[in-house]
Chains A and B, each alone.
Chain A
Amino acid sequence: GAGVSQSPRYKVAKRGQDVALRCDPISGHVSLFWYQQALGQGPEFLTYFQNEAQLDKSGLPSDRFFAERPEGSVSTLKIQRTQQEDSAVYLCASSLGGRGRRETQYFGPGTRLLVL
Chain B
Amino acid sequence: DAGVTQSPTHLIKTRGQQVTLRCSPKSGHDTVSWYQQALGQGPQFIFQYYEEEERQRGNFPDRFSGHQFPNYSSELNVNALLLGDSALYLCASSLYGTGRTEAFFGQGTRLTVV
Bind each other: no
A residues sitting closer than 8 Å to B (CB atoms) are: none
